[in-house]
Amino acid sequence: MTRPIHILVYSSPLFPAHWSLCIPHVDDPDIGTRIHVSGDAAPGYETAFERNYNLSTTSR
């Protein structure tokens, strides 16, 4: 079964656009898992998996 994957783009006038991936739950498209990577090439990157991320209540 295929499922949609959303690209969330966070725009800022001060920084380049930042983005993460969101995979919604099968039974509730507003809630899902957000995959987010932050960091820099020099110190390294960190990957975070935020489960039960609610797209309808985010302020970004």
At 14-37, the pLDDT tens digits run 877 788 999 999 999 999 999 998
Instruction: Order the strands of the 18-24 sheet from edge to edge.
Output: 6-10, 18-24, 31-40, 44-54
Q: What is the pLDDT of residue 60?
A: 67
Q: What span, in angstroms and rounded, lies between the C-alpha atoms of 46 and 57?
A: 24
1, part of any domain: no
* Stated pTM of the model: 0.76
Structure tokens at 24: 């919604």
What is the domain extent for residue 38? 6-57
Count of domains for the chain = 1
